[in-house]
Structure 1
Amino acid sequence: MVKILKKHGLFLGIVVVPMIVAIAYFVSLSMDRYVSRSTVVVRSLGGQGGSAAAAQQMQGLSMLLGAGNASSLEETLYVSTYVSSQDMLNILQSKLRWSEQYAGNWHDFWFYLPEDATQEDILKFYQRMVTTTFDETNGLLTIQVQSFDKEFAKRTLDTIVAESDRFVNELSHKLARDQVDFAQGELERARHNYEEKRTAMLDFQAVHNLLDAEQSAAARNEVIATLQSNLVTAHASLRAMKETLNKNSPQVQQQERTIRALENQIAVEEKKLVAASSSSQLNVIASKYRALEVDAGIAEASYKSTVNSLESARIEATKKMRSLSVIVSANEPDEALYPRRGYSLATTLIILLLIYGIARFAIATVRDHQD
């Protein structure tokens, strides 16, 4: 026995003993772990028309053809992160008391979770039992849940998929709401500014008893032109009278009074229209009114632009709406997938033999150098 140990001690220590331990673990200690899987993808809801059945058929066809462009790869990665997060674990703890299904399982020490485990330890254990695999070619996300109970594996996965769907809806709705709310805020500011400018223009019209200052100024010019035309006619009549009548005659004096009245009226009208500094003059009023009208026009154009922007924002928000589509539903397994005892033992044996071979080679090399 001693000779055998001396001769084969290295082989026994590196290969035989570890294999006995591995066999004892996989045969007697390791617990069956059931696996439930589901495949999901985040897809855009925007721009879909037609009946629901037709949309579903087109969606299924695009998935079969691997049309990754129709899916939102970025949001699918968000889902992958969310599934592995503390937030998802907290939901499972609240709804399923998740850690209690695994805690205190001393029988399988490799998957042992203490009953008083910290939150960080529970999260690490959770990330071992719940894993995700993302396929970049088509945007599909596969979620896998391991459990010692096959029914609990499916319940856990169903909850994860439902919460992931809620997460995607909330995320896309929030992004859409933020975009539309911003556009609505800009619209309200533009509307308020337009109302202020329009009110200022209307108040100016009311104060100066005008409908349109420029039209009033044009009307004033027409009055002056008419008076000047009458004045020219009056002067012509006066010259004709003086040729036939005495300058002191009543007709001549009356015509001169008419001319003076016309000249005075023209002066009054011109003073109202073009005097230099009075704020009540029509040229000044027309200039101020024109400035107010321009401001109101700019505000109106800005308001119309923000109305169009709001409609565009609503369309863009619709395009950004996302939904979690379940490609493969969660299954309730009939047989335990893990541990793969035969595969694991064979792999362990190969690794131990490799280690043994390396050790023998190292020992032989040392002995050659010593000799």
Structure 2
Amino acid sequence: MSQTAIESIEKRFTALHDSTSEEVWNDGDKLFELAEEIEKNDIYLARRVLQRVRTLQPKRPKLTQHLKRLSDEIEKSSKQAQTSSSSEYQPATENKKISLKSIVELAKNNKLWNKPWLIALIFPFLLFAFYQLVWAAPRYESRAQLIVQQPDGMSTMDPSMALLSGLGVGSNSGADSEIAKAYIHSEDMLNYLEKHSNLKAHYQQGGDLFSKLSNDASKEDLLQFYIEHTTVEIDDASGVLKVLVQAYTPEFANTLTQTVIDRAEWYINSIGHQLAAAQLKFIRSEHAKVELRLRNAQKQLLAFQQKHNLLDPEAEGLALQQITYGLEGQIATKSAELKGLLSTMTNKAPQVVMLEAEIDALKTQLELERAFVSTARFVAN
């Protein structure tokens, strides 16, 4: 198949895309039904649509068989065309001119010129055909793909810091693709292209009377013209950003596409750098707050130690705990002696009264030592 035929198929495919809703275009089942309807009139375009279905649904049953059947029919028709007599061949332009001439002669023979409504119908068609065949300037389209991804912040940052900065949450790559699409169609991108690619001059000097940009076009007109000639598509499944740029020369179309991709990549990276800088600033501020709280706690600890003469809270707490254990042992011993005396003496005996007083004193001291132990443990913690 010649390059011209392939370009013609791609043009029809692009026109079909523009006239089809996104819901149908991204639905493999609906697109398959559309291909079956197109096959009746345009088998080449039907095969191109099925290739799109294979991209959306690689595992669709019997899809390969349909593509092979269409390819066999196209190959068969091509062989029949090659075996036909060369005298019967005529250029496409001449065939179209003959067709237009036949329409005019048919109209004359059937006296169609006497009917004004037919004239109003045929005349615009003839003008449009003349414009497309003779006058219309060619346009060239360059395509490029851009993948927008974010690095995993958890792999380069401590988990606790990641929670503080919000990096642990999964990012939405679809939103990043939408941001890139909006920037490509923005006025900032247009200003950059005017500065580095002389875009306005190309739009005004190229094309024909109807397709080029007017010389007195405003900034808004230039932006609208640029948007109409720059298509951005987002694949929801893979997140791939496809950029299609039209220009009046293939070299300028390729250069313009590369410039748009480079600038969009710079913009997305700059947003990532700004976000990283903001997150780092937040982490540093949180770290400074933690350090300040730690210093204040240390000052309070030193003040408490000086106030209560605690040089080593843990060691002194351990010593106080040993004292409480000793007091508890003495209380147990004295209580046993008291029980022995009460078995032979009365409650008012001098030895009994003295022993009870010692036990009460030991219990009072035990409560004081326990209070010191609790204070020492609190300071150590």
Provide TM-score, normalisation by structure 1.
Answer: 0.50
Which fold has the larger relative contact order, with Cα–Cα distance below 8 Å and residues 6 or more apart in sequence? 1
Q: Which has the larger radius of gyration?
A: 1
Provide TM-score, normalisation by structure 2.
Answer: 0.49
